[in-house]
Structure 1
Amino acid sequence: MSTAQGFGPMTNERLPLPSREGMSEAQQAAADSIINGPRKAIFGPFVPLLQVPALMEHIGKTGETLRFHGSLKDAIRELAICVVSRETGNQFEWQTHAPAAIKAGVKEEAIASLGAGRRPRDLPGDQACAVDFAQELMLRQGVSDATYAEAVAHFGEPGTVELTALIGYFTMVCWVMNVARTPGPAGSNAPALAAFP
């Protein structure tokens, strides 16, 4: 069973995955590109993005670079994704990445705090910096000099650019899924997000 996306009375999926026979040649080629890559299947944001195959392929490559070839530690990457998915209210990314963050070494209590809409306490310095950076960027569309300097001290300039791009990428795919009402992953044990009060 999947968690429906959205917090209103209508949560039906707007853009479900078409059957292989119902796909155009371009859609089939784009689907095969994702299936033959590290993801091995069409799921999450790639379901609605399949509507625009060339866009799906390019977005997929960007995500592949950020997730599988980046320099950030797994805990930092997964924690930043959790901040984005909580702030955007996206079930799919939350239920996918909250367990991955815990597996990567983020305290379960920190993820529970984020899920409840609170800032986690008692995080290691680099994790606290990642949370502050992601929340500030999403709220203000930029970061202060102090936040930037702290990020550079923890992640270097390349890592700070990568963190910024990661936040932007996941904001985009969460928005795509929110518009499409793409449900959370089937069979996830992670608790669903509730609407903010």
Structure 2
Amino acid sequence: MMPSDIDPVSGFRLPFPDREALDDDAKALYDRFCDPDGGSYVGLRGPGGIRLHSPQLALRTQNINTYLRRDAGIPLANRELSILVTAREFDSQFEWCAHEDEALKAGISPEVIEIVRHRKPIDDLPEEQYLIIQLGREMFGDHKVTSETFARALALWGERHLLDFVSVMANYANTAAILCVFDMQLPEGKEPGLPALD
């Protein structure tokens, strides 16, 4: 049952923003979110619809998203794994459900997804997958990245790509916080993909 403070149309604690109250740039972004071919996994009924209540935030976040998704040179599988790790560390059901299928399509194996979902040991994974998961677990779980993890990640990716990886995770941590505060509900018919919180 949906909590009483959730708008039944938007699926979060605010109604959708009024398109006519937006400036032209924000209207274009609103329309892109509503377009099934607009490049958003979840459309207006997700973090984009929430962010449009602050149009400049929505527009500037979109610029960062475009860089991290298309221009940073991060392979799709690595990006999707980074997002799943972030969603898991924040227990973000909506974020997880929006990206689990995308991670599978990008080539992340079901076994690796289960490792992330249940926080299983990662010692036997390939170096790149190991480092993505370990970096996220240390950054968000321990609030400190060890010198060893940093050195291994720097050696593998170099300065710019390491910063871009961290920025993908930080960007989706920002999204997880927004989804949490505005209590974004899962789409109808979607089951939670993460273990229930204690």
TMscore range, shorter length: 0.7 to 0.9
CA distance in 1, matches of 2:174, 2:15: 18
Q: How many residues align?
A: 187
Q: What letter matches 2:26 in structure 1?
A: A
Q: What letter matches 2:193 in structure 1?
A: A
CA distance in 2, matches of 1:146, 1:52: 40
Alignment of 1:45-124 (within 5 A): 45-120=47-122, 122-124=124-126
Match of 2:29 in 1: 33
Match of 2:173 in 1: 171
Displacement of 1:18: 3.8
CA distance in 1, matches of 2:121, 2:28: 40
Unpaired segments of 5 or more residues in structure 1?
Answer: none
CA distance in 2, matches of 1:109, 1:10: 37
Q: What letter matches 1:194 in structure 2?
A: P
TM-score when normalising by structure 1:
0.81
Q: In the alignment, which of 21, 24, 47 is matched to residue 21 of structure 2? A: 24
Match of 1:137 in 2: 139
| Contact 2:13 2:183 (C-alpha < 8 Å) held by counterparts | yes
Q: Compared with structure 1, are the counterparts of its residues 108 and 117 closer, same or farther at alpha carbon in structure 2 (3 Å cutoff)?
A: same
| Contact 2:77 2:107 (C-alpha < 8 Å) held by counterparts | yes
Q: What letter matches 1:32 in structure 2?
A: A
Q: What letter matches 1:15 in structure 2?
A: L
Q: What letter matches 1:177 in structure 2?
A: L
| Contact 1:88 1:171 (C-alpha < 8 Å) held by counterparts | yes
Unpaired segments of 5 or more residues in structure 2?
Answer: 7-11, 33-37
Q: Percent of aligned pairs with the same residue?
A: 28
TM-score when normalising by structure 2:
0.81
| Contact 1:96 1:185 (C-alpha < 8 Å) held by counterparts | no
CA distance in 1, matches of 2:145, 2:178: 24
CA distance in 1, matches of 2:126, 2:91: 25
Q: Render the CA deviation track for 1:7-40: whole Å, top value 9, x for unaligned.
A: xx778321242454xx5133x6414235446439
Q: Render the CA deviation track for 1:105-133: whole Å, top value 9, x for unaligned.
A: 22202212322343456322101111001
| Contact 1:30 1:50 (C-alpha < 8 Å) held by counterparts | yes
CA distance in 1, matches of 2:136, 2:56: 28
Q: Compared with structure 1, are the counterparts of its residues 32 and 185 closer, same or farther at alpha carbon in structure 2 (3 Å cutoff)?
A: farther
